[in-house]
Amino acid sequence: MDIQTLTFLIVGASFVLYIGIAIWSRAGSTSDFYVAGGGVHPVANGMATAADWMSAASFISMAGLISFMGYDGAVYLMGWTGGYVLLALCLAPYLRKFGKFTVPDFVGDRYYSQLARTVAVICAIFVCFTYVAGQMRGVGVVFSRFLEVDITTGVVIGMCIVFFYTVLGGMKGITYTQVAQYCVLIFAYLVPAVFISMLMTGNVLPQVGFGSTLTGTETYLLDKLDGLSTELGFAEYTSGTKSTIDVFCITAALMVGTAGLPHVIVRFFTVPKVRDARKSAGWALLFIAILYTTAPAIASFARVNMINTINGEQMQGTEYAQAPDWIKNWERTGLISWQDKNDDGKMFYSGDERNEMQIDRDIMVLANPEIANLPGWVIALVAAGGIAAALSTSAGLLLVISTSVSHDLLKRNLMPDITDKKELFYARLAAGVAIVIAGYFGVNPPGFVAQVVAFAFGLAASSFFPAIIMGIFYKKMNKEGAIAGMLSGITFTAAYIIYFKFINPAANVPANWWFGISPEGIGTLGMLLNFGVALLVNRFTAEVPQDVQEMVESIRFPKGSGAAKAH
C-alpha cells in the first residue's frame, strides 16, 4: 500500500475519532463550553493540557529548529519547558482559587475595571491569533506533502475539522478530543525516534542514543555532527552563535510568555478542585517531558541522515537524477528546492556559497521517517501526529478567542443581560469568525511555525504576565497601573516585531537590534517595560480599594474547591 493511501487511512481514522468524541461530549451549557463542567479527571486533564501545550511548534518545528541551529535551538527547548514549570508552580493554583473562566475575567475583577477587562480581551485575541497562525500553517505543511494538496487547501481542510469540534463541543469536546490527540501525537513522535535510534546507535531509547556512538564506529553522534558542520561551512553543532543577552531574552520571553498564555491557564479550571489542578499540572509536565526529551535526539538523527543523503557518504554530492524519493516528494510542496550552481548535476548542501539546497526547517520531523527509509505506515503515522498537535492547540486558542468575545466582552461588559443560550450562540459565532481569520494567517504566515509561535509568547510575556503576577502577589497594584502596563508592553513588543518582520525585514540583523535582542526575544524587554510603567503609574494614582486587597490576600492561599463561576 502506498504512503498516500496509508496517510488517508490513518489521518482519516483520527479525524473520525476526533469528530466522534466531539459529538459524544458536545457542550449543552456555558459551563460545559467554557470549562468542561469542571469535572475532568486530573490524568485526563494532564493529557489534554500536554496536547494543548505541545502545538505544531513543538511537534513539527522545534526539532527542525534544533536540527538547523544546533545549540542555539536549545533556547526554545529551555524556554518552553521552564515556562510550563513556572506556570504550574506560580500561577495555576492561585488563578484556580480565584475561580474565573478566563484571564480577562481575572484581570477585569482583580483590577475592578471594565476597561482593564477590555484591554485584556484585546491582548488575548491578539496573542491567540498570532499563535494560531502558526498552528494552521503547520496543518497546511502536513497536508501539502502527505495528501498532495497545496498549503491553502490543507489549511482549509484543517479549518473545517477544528471548526466542527470546537463549535460543537466547546471545552468539553476539546478536552476529550485532546486526550485522544495526545495519544496520537506522542505515539507518532516516539515510533520513528525509536526506529532511527536503533538503526543509527543500537539503542532503543532515543534519549540514550543521542549521547551514544554510531553503529559500527567509535564516533559519537554529536562528534559526527560537529565534524560535518565545520566541514560544510556551518558553525559547530554543539556551540552557540547567538549573543548571551539574546539567548537570555528569548528563553525568558518563552518562559514568562508561557505563564501568560490564556489557552493553557484556562485548562486548570476544568478539574473539580485546586488539589486536582496541581495534580493535572504534574501529569502534564510528565507527558510533555516525554516529547521534549526526545526532540534533541530526533533533530540530530535527522541532521546526519539529511546531510548523508544529499551530499553522499564522501561529501561529494549526490546525482540529482538519483535523488532519494523524499527530496522529490517534498520538492512538489515547494518546501525544498535545488539550484545547480556549478552545472555538475549533483546536489550539495552546505553553509557557504557552495550550497545548492533550500530546505524549510519545518519539514524535518515530517520528512525524518522518509529520510531514514522507514516503513510507509510510520510516515503516515507522523503525518497524523503533526495534524493532531496543530489541531489540538488551534482548538484551545480558538476557544479562548470565542470566550473572550462572548463572555468577557459581551456578557461581562457590553450585553450583561443576555441569556446563557444567547451567550453560547455568540461564543460559537465568534469561534467561527476566528477560524476564518486564523485560516488566512495560516495561508499567509509571518514566518516559520516555531518563529510565529515565539512571537505569540513574546506578546503574552509583555502583556499578561506582569498583570497576572502583580495581580496575585502585589495587592497594591491598581487598575490604572495594570492598564498602562499592558498597553505599553504589548504596543512596544508588537511594534518591534512588525517593524523587523514586515516593514523593514532587510534590517533584521543583530547590528540593528536594540541591545542585540532579536524580535523573538523582545518580549522580555516589553515585559520589563510593562512592569516599569505599571509601577510608575500606580505610584501617582489612587490606591486599590480595601475589599480588592482582601480578595487578593484570599487567593494567595490556594485552598478549597474554588469552583469556576461566570459571575
> Is 394:158 a contact under the CB 8 Å cutoff?
yes
Nearest by Cα to 482 from 459, 494, 465: 465
Rounded Cα distance, 427 and 141, in Å = 29
For all residues of the chain together, what is the average pLDDT?
82
User: Which ranges constitute the DSSP H helices of 100-150?
Assistant: 103-110, 114-146
- List the beta bridge partners of residue 336: 359
Question: Within a domain: residue 128?
Answer: yes
Q: Position of cell 531509547?
A: 205
- The string of DSSP letters for 462-518 reads HHHHHHHHHHHH-TT--HHHHHHHHHHHHHHHHHHHHIIIII-GGG-SGGGSGGG--
Rounded Cα distance, 93 and 279, in Å = 10
pLDDT at 29: 55
Nearest by Cα to 351 from 226, 231, 512: 231
Question: Within a domain: residue 310?
Answer: no
- The residue type at 425: F
Each residue's pLDDT tens digit, 386-402:
877 777 677 777 777 77
State yes or no: pLDDT of 27 exceeds 60. no
Question: Within a domain: residue 318?
Answer: no
Question: Within a domain: residue 142?
Answer: yes
pLDDT at 567: 46
Q: For the chain, how many residues are written?
A: 567
Q: How many CB atoms lie within 10 A of CB 553?
A: 10
> Is 523:248 a contact under the CB 8 Å cutoff?
no
Q: How many CB atoms lie within 10 A of CB 407?
A: 25
For 203, which DSSP code? -
In this prediction, residues 325-333 reach a mean pLDDT of 85
Nearest by Cα to 394 from 140, 132, 123, 11: 132
Number of domains into which the chain is organized: 1
Percent of the chain with pLDDT over 90: 22
Question: Within a domain: residue 330?
Answer: no
- The residue type at 242: K
Could you list the beta-strand ranges (E) of 208-366: 318-319, 336-338, 346-347, 357-359
Each residue's pLDDT tens digit, 401-431:
777 788 777 877 778 788 878 877 887 788 7
Question: Within a domain: residue 335?
Answer: no
CATH code at position 489 = 1.20.1730.10
Question: Within a domain: residue 544?
Answer: yes
Each residue's pLDDT tens digit, 99-116:
765 678 788 888 988 888
Binning pLDDT at 50, 70 and 90, where does residue 262 land? low
Q: Which domain holds residue 465?
A: 3-27+43-302+374-555
Question: Within a domain: residue 328?
Answer: no
> Is 364:299 a contact under the CB 8 Å cutoff?
yes
